[in-house]
């Protein structure tokens, strides 16, 4: 009986996606995503990984081009002794035109094409189970049949699955997986996919599980460093670590340019700041910069020029002007002018709304972690998306109102 096996857990690669909404060169980005996958398979080969777990949405869809599929097959084939287990997800569900439809996959690749199934490797001391989506919406939980697998308790049993982690009784279009199911499943590790933001290595009962997130971002809704989980899974533990593999990062950065009043100064500050934050090769990332702070009333921010100059050093950059002219609203409210009265009225409303919200917050129960309100086809990276309160709206209304006195009313890009 082996102590543990080495696994690499990745998900949601979305290979072949055209990235029409992504900035920069879509074709290049597509190749970069494929390159990231190649790096993953190289790690498997070079580091003697026993089991590569791909937890769904490996492909963007059935419409992925043949060249990409062919490359994927080659990379998988060249992994040496690594076994790859693929559980198709809602994007690449098994269908007649799916890349998984054919039988010409390398021998070391296991594709779970429908209900929960098991493949044992007794000589290597593990068994891998999994299930695949056969349509977009998998409303019946695939893990429900785990009991029927008759797992061999002498082996390290690992499961790979695409699905939506949620509480008991929740409803999900994407294969609801509950902690209760996981705890009772008998698996040492369940490799999940679907959520693009990685979780920690979680544990329920004897079962460890996690979402590694996507290994490479595809837009500014997938921010930060992306990668895979790699490590050892033994009968009772899963010692996995995050390993970045992304080619580039999507980064949204706020940079305070208070007091600066020339394009050169701003560019220098931005580059210095980004270098501090992301090291010497900071230039390769995608940046969405918000220039913040207060600037001189007379200084018109030359956004286009700044963007142009920054583009020389950064792979991709877009800039939003979130600067403001230093305004003491309390003082402004004393003015017996239209502006003063407007500010006073807005401050009154903000104060009232703030009081109401404080009162409301005290009386409300904590918000449930999982938002099951609408379809989230993937990448549900909803952390940090705070509900906009009435106070927020009023503050924004105050800003826009003041903007209307000074110049154009600038709205954010949508």
Q: How many CA atoms lie within 13 A of 71 on its CB side?
A: 19
Q: What is the helix (H) or strand (E) element at residue 35, kind and residue range?
A: helix 26-46
**CB under 8 A: which stretch of 55-63, 177-185, 239-247, 267-275 binds another protein?**
55-63
**CB under 8 A: which stretch of 131-139, 237-245, 267-275, 360-368 binds another protein?**
131-139
Give the shortest CB-346-to-another protein separation in angstroms.
Answer: 5
Cα–Cα distances in angstroms (integers) from residue 66 to residues 15, 84, 85, 100, 229, in the given order = 11, 20, 21, 12, 28
**CB under 8 A: which stretch of 92-100, 142-150, 257-265, 270-278 binds another protein?**
92-100
Give the shortest CB-340-to-another protein separation in angstroms.
Answer: 7
Bridge partners for 101 per DSSP: none
Q: Are 325 and 295 in contact (CB under 8 A)?
A: yes
The smaller minimum CB distance to another protein, of residues 206 and 401, is found at: 401
Give the shortest CB-332-to-another protein separation in angstroms.
Answer: 12
The smaller minimum CB distance to another protein, of residues 96 and 369, is found at: 96
Give the shortest CB-250-to-another protein separation in angstroms.
Answer: 14
Give the shortest CB-18-to-another protein separation in angstroms.
Answer: 9
Give the shortest CB-142-to-another protein separation in angstroms.
Answer: 16
Question: Per rule CB under 8 A, is residue 358 in the interface with another protein?
Answer: no
CA angle 381, 38, 197 (to 5 degrees): 10
Give the shortest CB-162-to-another protein separation in angstroms.
Answer: 11
The smaller minimum CB distance to another protein, of residues 153 and 414, is found at: 414
Question: Per rule CB under 8 A, is residue 172 in the interface with another protein?
Answer: no
Interacting residues of 78 by C-beta distance below 8 A, sequence separation 6+: 41, 45
Cα–Cα distances in angstroms (integers) from residue 76 to residues 40, 51, 81, 104, 349, in the given order = 10, 11, 10, 12, 61
Q: Which of 294, 225, 308, 222 is nearest to 264 (CA)?
A: 308
φ/ψ of 348, rounded to 5, equals -60, -45
Interacting residues of 191 by C-beta distance below 8 A, sequence separation 6+: 7, 9, 11, 53, 55, 158, 159, 160, 161, 209, 210, 212, 229
Per-residue exposure over 73-96, b if at least 16 CB sit within 10 Å of its own CB, e if not: bebbeebeebbbbbbbbbbbbbbe
Cα–Cα dist 259/63, whole Å? 51
Question: Per rule CB under 8 A, is residue 135 in the interface with another protein?
Answer: yes
The smaller minimum CB distance to another protein, of residues 12 and 50, is found at: 12
The smaller minimum CB distance to another protein, of residues 369 and 388, is found at: 388
The smaller minimum CB distance to another protein, of residues 206 and 340, is found at: 340
The smaller minimum CB distance to another protein, of residues 252 and 313, is found at: 252
Cα–Cα dist 258/266, whole Å? 10
Question: Per rule CB under 8 A, is residue 136 in the interface with another protein?
Answer: yes
Choice from 81, 154, 262, 404 touching another protein (CB under 8 A): 404
Give the shortest CB-349-to-another protein separation in angstroms.
Answer: 7
Give the shortest CB-323-to-another protein separation in angstroms.
Answer: 18
Choice from 1, 150, 367, 411 touching another protein (CB under 8 A): 411
Angle between helix 66-77 and helix 26-46 axes, rounded to 10 deg: 20
Q: Which of 133, 144, 131, 135 is nearest to 185 (CA)?
A: 144
The smaller minimum CB distance to another protein, of residues 134 and 234, is found at: 134
Question: Per rule CB under 8 A, is residue 299 in the interface with another protein?
Answer: no
Q: Which of 74, 65, 91 is nearest to 37 (CA)?
A: 74
Length of the chain: 414
Which residues ranging from 360 to 399 are in contact with another protein (CB under 8 A)?
Answer: 374-379, 388, 393-394, 396-398
Which residues ranging from 173 to 232 are in contact with another protein (CB under 8 A)?
Answer: 221
Give the shortest CB-135-to-another protein separation in angstroms.
Answer: 6
Choice from 62, 271, 303, 325 touching another protein (CB under 8 A): 62
Cα–Cα dist 393/413, whole Å? 17
Give the shortest CB-320-to-another protein separation in angstroms.
Answer: 13
The footprint of another protein (CB under 8 A) covers 17, 21, 57, 60-63, 90-91, 93, 95-97, 101, 134-137, 221, 334-338, 340-342, 344-346, 349, 374-379, 388, 393-394, 396-398, 400-401, 403-405, 408-409, 411-412, 414
């Amino acid at each position: 009986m082996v102590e543990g096996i080495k696994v690499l857990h990745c998900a949601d690669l979305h290979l072949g996606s055209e990235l029409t909404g992504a900035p920069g060169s879509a074709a290049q980005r597509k190749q970069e995503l494929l390159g990231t996958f190649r790096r993953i398979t190289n790690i498997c080969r070079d580091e003697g990984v026993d089991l590569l777990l791909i937890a769904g949405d490996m492909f963007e869809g059935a419409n992925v081009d043949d060249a990409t599929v062919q490359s994927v097959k080659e990379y998988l084939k060249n992994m040496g002794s690594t076994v790859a287990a693929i559980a198709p997800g809602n994007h690449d569900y098994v269908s007649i035109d799916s890349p998984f439809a054919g039988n010409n996959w390398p021998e070391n690749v296991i594709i779970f094409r429908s209900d929960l199934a098991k493949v044992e490797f007794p000589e290597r001391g593990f068994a891998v189970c999994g299930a695949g989506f056969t349509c977009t919406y998998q409303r019946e939980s695939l893990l429900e049949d785990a009991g029927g697998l008759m797992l061999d308790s002498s082996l390290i049993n690992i499961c790979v699955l695409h699905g939506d982690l949620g509480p008991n009784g929740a409803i999900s279009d994407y294969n609801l997986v509950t902690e209760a199911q996981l705890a009772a499943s008998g698996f040492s590790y369940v490799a999940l996919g679907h959520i693009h933001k990685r979780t920690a290595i979680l544990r329920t009962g004897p079962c460890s599980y996690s979402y590694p997130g996507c290994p490479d971002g595809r837009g500014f809704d997938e921010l930060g460093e992306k990668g895979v989980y790699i490590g050892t899974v033994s009968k009772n533990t899963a010692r996995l670590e995050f390993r970045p593999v992304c080619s580039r990062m999507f980064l949204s950065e706020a940079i305070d340019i208070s007091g600066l009043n020339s394009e050169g100064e701003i560019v220098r500050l931005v580059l210095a700041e980004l270098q501090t934050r992301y090291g010497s090769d900071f230039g390769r990332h995608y940046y969405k910069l918000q220039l913040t702070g207060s600037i001189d009333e007379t200084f018109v921010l030359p956004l286009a020029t700044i963007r142009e100059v920054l583009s020389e050093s950064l792979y991709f950059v877009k800039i939003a002007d979130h600067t403001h002219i230093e305004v003491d609203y309390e003082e402004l409210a004393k003015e017996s002018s239209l502006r003063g009265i407007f500010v006073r009225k807005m401050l009154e409303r903000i104060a009232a709304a703030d009081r109401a919200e404080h009162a409301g917050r005290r009386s409300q129960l904590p918000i449930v972690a999982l938002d099951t309100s609408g379809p989230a086809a993937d990448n549900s990276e909803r952390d940090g998306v705070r509900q906009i309160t009435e106070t927020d709206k009023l503050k924004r209304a105050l800003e826009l109102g003041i903007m209307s006195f000074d110049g154009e009313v600038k709205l954010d890009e949508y």
